[in-house]
Amino acid sequence: MSANGHQRDRDAHRPGVVRTLRKSVADAWLYLGLFVAVNVAWVVLVGLPLGVLGRLATRYTVFALGIVLTVLTTAAGNAILFHVTNRMAHGEVSLRDFGVALTEHFLRSLALLVIIAAIVALGAFNVFFYLKVVSAPGWRIIGMIWGYVIALFALAMLYSYPVMIEQKCGPLSAMKRSGLLFLDNPVYTLGLGAVLLLETTIVALPVRMAVPVMVGLSFLVLCFIQAGFVGLLANNALLELLRKYELTERKPDAGGGVPGDTGG
């Protein structure tokens, strides 16, 4: 193919937030039954344990055990969510993928969850310390900076689970590659983050308004749509970016075309 042909391909497949969103909605509709099932599975494995854990906060021994169990169930829920939505994004999904997700990805999902949660917890502690414990205005600025750092870290990790599932790599490698994708595609990633923030705000707003009918609708969205939407959007975004690097380089490296990565 000529250089002009390569350029046309790159332009035609330039990652776009609207195209990624449209593809994610189409995948959800195409696999509606499995899409609902993966949402319900995530709510059962992640949402319910977190809700129970909140009620055990005053019973320290039981609370500590609850944290361990919640981390395990959350790792399982995330493995199922991102593996099944990965297969939806590829157009090859079945009920069997729920079991495959646990056998192939549970341990790596657990490790990735613990690492990310530890980093976020450290950042959140610094925000709390500088904004609440230290009252001097100068220190509050540091607390605000830490808040922005956490937000940027969350954006940088948007692709971490999809990369781990798609490329079957370890958690540290997935985090590194996700960070590289964010740094190389900041506008696209910020656009995806804005979509997720807007969608979450729309879902959460009726709860704040305390209107019974709207609260019920929000509950239905949380149970049957929210998690699957996040999984599909993240996985389709990763595939868009990998397509971009495949067309740009034509010889992807061991990291699947991720910029600056050598597959380590």
- pLDDT, residue 250, reads 46
- pLDDT, residue 253, reads 44
Cα–Cα distance between 151 and 59 in angstroms, integer?
32
Residue ranges of domains in the chain = 7-249
Which amino acid, residue 199?
Answer: E
Quick check: 11 pLDDT over 90? no
**Contact (CB, 8 A) for 224 and 36:** yes
Token pair of 21 as six digits? 């969103």
Quick check: 251 pLDDT over 90? no
Cα–Cα distance between 143 and 149 in angstroms, integer?
10
Range with lowest mean pLDDT among 1-5, 156-160, 231-235: 1-5
Token pair of 195 as six digits? 């979509």
Which pLDDT band, with edges at 50, 70 and 90, does 65 fall under? confident
Token pair of 186 as six digits? 């900041």
Mean predicted confidence (pLDDT) in 50-60 = 68
Quick check: 129 pLDDT over 90? no
